């Protein structure tokens, strides 16, 4: 295993750099394909979120791999290599495994313990499988990372400290008040209908907003989301009085509009959440000032009398002009301000500092345990092709000797020949059993990779025979449901 990860995140780079380095459109697919085409890499996967870009690869040379992956990140993000390099981090082999497992558990997230990262890891794996850039190593790694993340959330209280970036952002807008109390009865506009925007819309609906407008470039997708939320939050009986009168929980009014209708909806919105894949600004400071002026001119009752309009920008690069921070009547929370809030003790609501520290320690112990287990399994798997090749060679020797015996003793009947053949095979199997079992045990220990080399040398195994077993094993493990042969596209 020669696993290498090169990346940058909110921990290593300022938001201004992360914003410029975002991968948009099909750049993720192009990046992993170009990585696989590069000489040092045999597998590749990219994990790209709103606050991290990480390129994973199986490389045969460390220094060449770091140089190539760094160059590819610079080329595909459009940030010059000289400018990008100071913010890049590099992890290799077990440290790379440890890093991804920590990421999967939410230990490296802007909001510690948030669970949305698991879906993003799943997406990264799915892209690698679709493009056939993820082979045996990265398939094993990312699948195990998903299991480790789920284990951390199920066996510890890390969820008490963690939440989604959406919830954290809304808490910052609420400024200490319960989100449900702050949002109740307000009108919300959500721009975008992707996974983050959908999560924001669902969170606002649960918090009790009176009206929710989904604006998206593809109206059909926005309609599906609005209809689903309206159905989930329809008016239902809350209580029945002694007189038999029924009170109803407030029903949610959910609408969908095309994105070019955003300017018409802005004056009526108390809360605006934006998370799109746009490369430019979705809302400029000038547009927001215009909306505030129109809002002030609205007749009484046209919108709730909220003091400010609350803006939550979860996009990277940003959707909302940073100049909105300086506009009176607007309260903007964006990725940069979320990063600052998360760095403060008060930025980790939902549990006491002591309880959160204990949960984090438990998760770290899980990560360390799982890294050791993954490394042992990978080292053991590394020697399997050599063991298979050895047993294949032994079977060929037995077959050759039985054929020679047939020539020297042609009068043997079938029963005698079968008994002799079985006896020879048992002898060979018994001779090989202890050393092959032991070499697998030794290979699973740190530094055990050399045992495979020793076995090949001692038994003069054909390297091509070992490679053939490896290729067959890799193809079997990377084949998808529609690709029985697997392998690289």
- Nearest-angstrom CA–CA distance, 259 and 221: 12
Q: Under the phi-then-psi rule, with left for phi > 0, alpha for psi from -120 to 50, and beta for the rest, what region is 487?
A: left
Taking 70 as the threshold, does the pLDDT of residue 300 lie above it? no
Residue 467 pLDDT: 61
Angle at 293 between CA 287 and CA 298, to 5 degrees: 120
Question: What is the rounded average pLDDT of the residues 130-150?
Answer: 95
Asked if 298 is an active-site residue, the reply is no
User: How do the residues of the chain divide into helix, strand and coil, expressed in percent and rounded to 5?
Assistant: 60, 15, 30
Give CA–CA dist 85/68, Å, rounded. Answer: 12
Percent of the chain scored above 90 by pLDDT? 48
Q: How confident is the model at residue 466 (pLDDT cuts 50, 70, 90)?
A: low
* Higher per-residue confidence, 344 vs 77: 77
Q: Express each pLDDT in 1-20 by its tens digit.
A: 589 999 999 999 998 899 88
Radius of gyration of the chain (CA): 30
Q: For residue 430, what are the CA distances in angstroms to 228, 407, 421, 427?
A: 64, 26, 14, 5
Averaged pLDDT, 201-221: 92
Q: What is the pLDDT of residues 26-61, one digit of tens each?
A: 899 999 999 999 878 999 999 998 889 999 999 988
From the candidates 50, 105, 275, 298, give the one annotated as an active-site residue: 50
Q: For residue 463, is pLDDT > 80?
A: no
Please tell me the pTM assigned to this model: 0.71
d(CA 397, CA 114): 57
Could you tell me which of 131, 132, 106 has the C-alpha nearest to residue 120? Answer: 106
Q: The sheet that has 52-59: what strands, in order across it?
A: 41-49, 52-59, 3-9, 89-92
Using the 8-state DSSP alphabet, how is residue 324 labeled? G
Q: What is the pLDDT of residues 159-208, one digit of tens each?
A: 776 567 888 899 999 998 999 999 999 999 999 988 889 989 999 999 99
| Distance between CA atoms of residues 203 and 190, nearest Å | 11
**Lowest-confidence range among 54-63, 279-288, 393-402, 435-444?**
435-444
């Amino acid at each position: 295993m020669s696993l290498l990860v090169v990346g940058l995140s909110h921990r290593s780079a300022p938001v201004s750099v992360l914003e410029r380095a975002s991968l948009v459109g099909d750049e993720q697919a192009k990046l992993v394909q170009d990585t696989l085409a590069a000489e040092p890499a045999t597998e590749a996967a990219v994990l790209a979120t709103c606050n991290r870009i990480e390129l994973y690869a199986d490389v045969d040379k460390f220094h060449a791999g770091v140089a190539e992956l760094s160059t590819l990140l610079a080329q595909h993000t459009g940030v010059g290599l000289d400018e990008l390099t100071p913010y890049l981090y590099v992890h290799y082999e077990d440290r790379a495994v440890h890093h991804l497992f920590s990421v999967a558990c939410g230990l490296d997230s802007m909001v510690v313990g948030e669970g949305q990262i698991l879906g993003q890891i799943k997406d990264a794996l799915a892209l690698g499988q679709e493009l056939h850039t993820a082979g045996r190593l990265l398939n094993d790694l990312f699948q195990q990372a998903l299991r480790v993340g789920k284990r951390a959330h199920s066996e510890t209280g890390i969820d008490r400290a963690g939440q989604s970036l959406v919830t954290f952002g809304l808490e910052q807008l609420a400024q200490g008040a319960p989100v449900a109390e702050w949002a109740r009865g307000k009108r919300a506009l959500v721009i975008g209908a992707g996974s983050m925007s959908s999560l924001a819309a669902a969170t606002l609906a649960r918090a009790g907003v009176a009206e929710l407008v989904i604006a998206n470039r593809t109206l059909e997708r926005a309609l599906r989301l609005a209809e689903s939320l309206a159905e989930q939050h329809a008016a239902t009986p809350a209580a029945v009085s002694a007189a038999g009168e029924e009170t109803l929980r407030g029903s949610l009014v959910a609408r969908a509009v095309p994105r070019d209708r955003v300017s018409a909806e802005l004056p009526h919105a108390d809360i605006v959440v934006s998370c799109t894949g746009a490369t430019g600004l979705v809302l400029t400071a000038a547009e927001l000032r215009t909306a505030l002026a129109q809002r002030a001119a609205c007749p009484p009752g046209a919108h709730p009398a909220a003091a400010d309009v609350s803006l939550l920008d979860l996009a990277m690069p940003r959707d909302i002009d940073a100049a909105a921070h300086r506009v009176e009547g607007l309260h903007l929370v964006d990725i940069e301000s979320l990063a600052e809030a998360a760095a403060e003790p008060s930025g980790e609501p939902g549990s006491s500092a002591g309880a959160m520290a204990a949960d984090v320690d438990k998760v770290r112990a899980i990560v360390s345990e799982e890294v050791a287990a993954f490394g042992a399994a990978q080292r053991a798997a590394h020697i399997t092709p050599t063991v298979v090749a050895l047993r294949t060679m032994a079977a060929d020797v037995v077959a050759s000797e039985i054929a020679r015996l047939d020539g020297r003793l042609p009068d043997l009947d079938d029963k005698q020949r079968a008994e002799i053949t079985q006896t020879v095979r048992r002898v060979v199997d018994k001779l090989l059993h202890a050393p092959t079992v032991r070499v697998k045990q030794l290979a699973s220990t740190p530094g055990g990779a050399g045992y495979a080399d020793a076995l090949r040398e001692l038994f003069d195994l054909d390297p091509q025979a070992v490679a053939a077993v490896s290729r067959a094993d890799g193809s079997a493990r990377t084949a998808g449901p529609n690709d029985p042969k697997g392998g690289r596209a």
